[in-house]
Amino acid sequence: MITSAVSFAPPATLGGFTTGRITPHVRASDLVIARIDGRADMSAVERMPRGPQRRQAAYAALQAEAAATQGAALTALQPLIDSGVVSAVESMLLPNALVVQAAPAGQQAVLDALAGVAHVTGTQQVTRFSLPDASIDPAPRTAPPETDPPTSWAVDALNARPAWASGADGRGITVGIADSGLDITHPGLVGGYRGTRVGAAPEHDYNWADFMAGSPVPVEPPAESNGHGTHVASQVVTTNIGSAPGARVIAARMSNNGEANTYSAFEALQWMLAPTAVDGSAPDPARGADVVNVSWGTGDGTNDFLLESYQGLQAAGIEVVTAAGNSGPDGRISAPASYPGFTSVGAYDTHGAVADFSSRGPSPLPDGAGQGSPTFVAPGQLVRAATVGGKYSYSFGTSMAAPLVAGAFADLMSAEPTATHGQLVAALAETARDVAAPGPDDDSGYGLVDIGAAVARLRELLSGERNATLRRGDPPTGSRGGT
């Protein structure tokens, strides 16, 4: 029998096997992923209002699909488990897959055992990729004047203050940061971390996970490995720097000194749907994220390894926002920012243009499958950012632009909690300010996000639908469709 600390599905539902999370510190070269072909039917889930009940329904559907489709592969692996070739197996829900731990010498036996097994569509080794460097400059010569407390020009560039003044500041919304970690002792982040408790020690269960080193507490060291995650989180919740100061962040560490892998990425995104206690037990979708920020990518826009995870999160009512990449001006948009139907963000500079380094479209995915450009741009040059150790710096990159837009989604959600994905994107797209030529383009997408105008537009959309509902007696249908 396969045993480990965490059970994502009751043993009886997987043919009597108990599966669990692979122990942190395992080398990526010791892991094989077996992709399973079953996809949960989310049609009923997608019609539900976003929130805890929708996430719970999505998680239950994913569990049921895993139970129905993973058993044959587990049975095929049993002889290798008995002989010690396979030391652990984890059942994943996003994507539907099994992660098999075996030393390189035994991996051919794993591949042979799974060849031709029902529902197994393919096997692959876990591969590594790099997160962007924490591009910072403590005091660049061209930086805006210092202020105390620190402020960022991004707040005004995004026209965020009118939205905040109207009550749309992200309050009640949780933004998930899948990155290098988080320094919750930073003065600019302690109030924005969802686990912070007044007059008591922080509560890390359901608010923090470490898929690299297994650290139970999100403070450096080792839980913030290079500062990138701390910079990113500050663009959401730090007062006068972030775009949604009323929101709260949860964090999953999925990289070590800038190095991540496909397994840690899968783990982090699945955890955003159903966070767990710090020991990995008792996943609870009711405490999942409303928005997830992904400020990293593979560099290869054709790599679709995270597409199933993205689709599952969106079906659960979770907005996913991704950095476009820093390979401009000629570089193509990277994966997962190249995925269709999801929000990708390029960088806007202090001169009112798309930053030179910001990756451009079109998406390299096949015609009809990919999106043509970054969806939006947001400030990504000389933005103030929190750094590990309680200090601030100036940061660069689409890694900073993406969380500013994740915060914009949080603001809109706090203004209109019942808004659908289509309505949220429509409000942002219809009010974004052109950066170059009028209309969407492959450099800036719909343009620079205007949070104040987007909140006002979203309220108009929802007000119009409510009035129409009163007249027709029919349920609202959404301004542009979508869930």
What is the per-residue DSSP string for 72-104? HHHHHHHHHHHHTSEEEEEEETTTTEEEEEE-G
d(CA 146, CA 140): 11
Say if residues 290 and 175 touch (Cβ distance below 8 Å).
yes
DSSP state of 260: E
Question: Residue 199 phi/psi, 5° resolution?
Answer: 75, 10
- Residue 452: name the closest of 169, 150, 153 by CA: 169
Q: Supply angle C-alpha 443, 344, 307, rounded to 5.
A: 130
Say if residues 247 and 170 touch (Cβ distance below 8 Å).
yes
Q: Tell me the two tokens of residue 33.
A: 């992923």
d(CA 163, CA 160): 5
CB burial of residue 37 (10 Å; 0-12, 13-18, 19+) = exposed
d(CA 101, CA 117): 18
Identity of residue 220: E
Q: Supply angle C-alpha 138, 222, 398, rounded to 5.
A: 45
Distance of CA 34 to the CA centre of its chain: 23
Helices (H) and strands (E) in the chain, counts: 12, 17
Cα separations in angstroms, 362 against 64, 353, 399, 428: 37, 18, 19, 20
Q: Where are the alpha helices (DSSP H) in 11-133?
A: 43-46, 52-69, 71-83, 107-114
Is the previous residue joined to 438 through a cis bond, with omega within 30 degrees of 0? no
Residues annotated as catalytic (active site), given as ranges: 179, 228, 399
